[in-house]
Amino acid sequence: MRAQNRNAGVRLAAGLLALVACMAAADGSWLKHVPAKDRARVNPYAGQADAIAAGAKLFEDHCSPCHGADALGRGKRPSLRSERVQQATDGEIAWLLKNGNLAKGMPSWSAIPEPSRWQVIAYLKSLGENEAAPLASAHSTSSQPSTPDRPDNDKSK
Amino acid sequence: MISRSCWRRILSERGRGTSVHALLGILALVGPALGLAPRARAQEPEYFVTYSHDMEEPGNLEVEFHGDAASPKYGNPFGSATVEFEYGLKGWWTTEFYLSGQATGNDSAVFNGFRWENRFRPLLREHFINPVLYAEYENLNEADRSLLEITGHDGVQNYVVPNGIGRAITERSLETKLILGSNFKGWNLSENFIAEKDLNESEPWEFGYAIGVSRPLALAASPNPCTFCRENFAAGLELYGGLGDANGFGWKGTSQYLGPIVAFSIPHGPTVAFSPNFGLNDNSLKVLYRVKVSYEFQQFFRSVKDVLR
pLDDT digits (tens, 9 = 90+) for A88-139: 999 999 999 999 999 989 999 999 999 999 999 999 999 987 654 445 444 4
A133 to chain B, closest Cα gap in Å: 21
DSSP letters spanning B186-220 = TEEEEEEEEEEEESSS-PPPEEEEEEEEEEES-SS
Nearest to A153 among B60, B220, B268 (CB): B220
Q: Could you give the number of structural domains in chain B? A: 1
Contact present, B132 and B43 (Cβ < 8 Å): no
Label residues B115-154 b or e (16+ Cβ within 10 Å = b). Answer: bebebbbeeeebeeebebebebebebbbbbbbbbbbbbbb
**What pLDDT, on the 0 to 100 scale, is given for residue B175?**
97
Range of the domain at B9: 4-308
Across B25-44, average pLDDT: 51
Q: Where are the alpha helices (DSSP H) in chain A?
A: 2-25, 36-39, 49-58, 64-67, 83-87, 90-99, 114-127, 138-142
Q: How far is CA B139 from CA A12, B10, B11, B16, B199, in A?
A: 42, 21, 19, 17, 10
**What pLDDT, on the 0 to 100 scale, is given for residue B303?**
80
Nearest to B55 among A53, A101, A107 (CB): A107
Contact present, B55 and B88 (Cβ < 8 Å): yes
Residue B152 has pLDDT above 70, yes or no: yes
Say yes or no: B221 contacts chain A, CB-CB below 8 A.
Answer: yes
Mean pLDDT of chain B: 88
A102 contacts B185? CB cut-off 8 A: no
A66 contacts B223? CB cut-off 8 A: no
* CA distance linking residue B114 with residue B98, whole number of Å: 5
A82: exposed, middle or buried (Cβ count in 10 Å: 0-12, 13-18, 19+):
middle
In this structure, what CATH number is given to the domain that contains residue B126? Answer: 2.40.160.40
Say yes or no: A151 contacts chain B, CB-CB below 8 A.
Answer: no
pLDDT 10s digits, B89-128? 999 999 999 999 999 999 999 999 999 999 999 999 999 9
Mark which residues 5-24 of A lie under 8 Å from B by CB. none
A139 contacts B54? CB cut-off 8 A: no
pLDDT 10s digits, B125-145? 999 999 999 999 999 999 999
pLDDT 10s digits, A37-96? 999 999 999 999 999 999 999 999 999 989 999 999 988 889 999 988 999 999 999 999
A98 contacts B126? CB cut-off 8 A: yes
A139 contacts B188? CB cut-off 8 A: no
- Where does A28-147 sit in CATH, by number? 1.10.760.10
Choose from A61, A64, A114, A152 for mutation: most chain B CBs within 10 A: A61
Torsion of CA A87, A69, A122, A51, to 10 degrees: -170
**What pLDDT, on the 0 to 100 scale, is given for residue A30?**
83
Helix/strand/coil for A85: helix
Say yes or no: B57 contacts chain A, CB-CB below 8 A.
Answer: yes
B chain contacts of residue A55, beta-carbon cutoff 8 Å: 221
Closest CA to B277 of B264, B293, B263, B289: B289
Say yes or no: A107 contacts chain B, CB-CB below 8 A.
Answer: yes
* CA distance linking residue A119 with residue A87, whole number of Å: 17
Contact present, B51 and B192 (Cβ < 8 Å): yes
**What pLDDT, on the 0 to 100 scale, is given for residue B201?**
84
Minimum mean pLDDT range among A35-44, B133-142, B168-177, B293-302: B293-302
* CA distance linking residue B132 with residue B180, whole number of Å: 6
Contact present, B46 and B123 (Cβ < 8 Å): no
* CA distance linking residue B36 with residue B61, whole number of Å: 12
Q: How far is CA A15 from CA A8, A12, A151, B89, B268, in A?
A: 10, 5, 51, 20, 37
pTM: 0.81
